[in-house]
Chains A and B, each alone.
Chain A
Amino acid sequence: MMSIAKHFDISPFDFDHAGMMSSDIKRTLKQLKFNFAFIKKISVACYEAEINIVIHSVGGYGDLKLEDNHVYLQFIDRGPGIQDINLAMTPGYTTANEESRLNGFGAGMGLTNIKNSCDEMSIVSDPNGTVLKLKFFITEDSYDEH
């Protein structure tokens, strides 16, 4: 039975280190012989979630849990929360600042990319923080070699 768990701290406004979690996860999944398409959707969702914490929160963390049938990602930040989740899920809607845009982000595509990448997604938010949970099912098509 396969089981891997990893934890990553994510700092606010630290664009230089954003992506460390997704890079690490990509390496892990590659070592486990998952194919590029499967690795891409997990690492893209992970990177977008990391960037969201960097841009919008006062800091937080991400967890990876990999088991036989699924990959599970969880992101928790310490606020200030998303005022209107439905609005935040609308492609193109953004509250990101100029610095985020200069870094190539803040176009309002993050949550949409995340939703389109994963198999299951849940998001709960209040002023104390946001909890984003993502699930990716492992199937025969997740591997290059069956």
Chain B
Amino acid sequence: MNISAISSNDYQLMTDACKLNREFDSIYAGDLLSVVMRSASQGCTLITVISNLNTIAVAVLLDIPAIIITEDQVVSQAMIDKANTESVAIFKTAFKTHEVIIDFKDRGLI
């Protein structure tokens, strides 16, 4: 599914709109980046509360096209710049992790 399908009033796109051309085929939720690296699948959308440059670095290593930052965590300009450079989309939401998963299910994204 195209990552542009994630967009809604509950998700604020932080990166350039032109980065929405990639596809995702699953989701993975996790805040321990070592566990994310071990378990997340290539091409998934990552749901996490960890909002820093390391999150982008892990996404790049795993070919993750989109990250959803939960609980309204601050997304720094450095993160946005890095994500744009690496063609990773960042969405920010007030939802908690489990609420994102429920929302994705309700909207037929998973």
Query: Which residues in A have some Cβ–Cβ distance to B below 8 Å?
Result: 15-16, 18-19, 22-23, 26, 36, 40, 43-44, 47-48, 51, 103-105, 107, 109-110, 113, 116
Contacts and interface: CB of A to CB of B under 8 A. Distances in A.
B54 A104 contact: yes
Interface stretch (B14-22, B32-40, B93-101): B32-40
Given A19-B57, A23-B60, A40-B42, A113 B52 contact: no
Contacts of B60: 19, 23, 26
B53 A15 contact: yes
Contacts of B32: 104-105, 107, 109
Contacts, number: 67
Given A104-B32, A109-B32, A44 B54 contact: no
B55 interface: yes
Contacts of B31: 104
A76 to B, nearest CB: 21
Given A22-B57, A36-B63, A47-B57, A103 B50 contact: yes
Nearest to A45: B37
A40 B33 CA distance: 14
B58 interface: yes
Contacts of A116: 38
Nearest to A42: B61
Given A23-B57, A104-B55, A48 B37 contact: yes
Contacts of B38: 44, 109, 113, 116
Contacts of B50: 103-104
A26 B31 CA distance: 23
Contact of B54 (A43, A103, A113): A103
B52 A15 contact: yes
B54 A109 contact: no
A23 B50 CA distance: 19
29 contacts: A15-B52, A15-B53, A19-B53, A19-B54, A19-B60, A22-B57, A22-B61, A23-B60, A23-B61, A26-B61, A36-B63, A40-B42, A40-B61, A43-B61, A47-B37, A47-B58, A51-B54, A103-B33, A103-B54, A104-B50, A104-B52, A104-B54, A105-B54, A109-B32, A109-B34, A109-B35, A109-B38, A110-B34, A113-B34
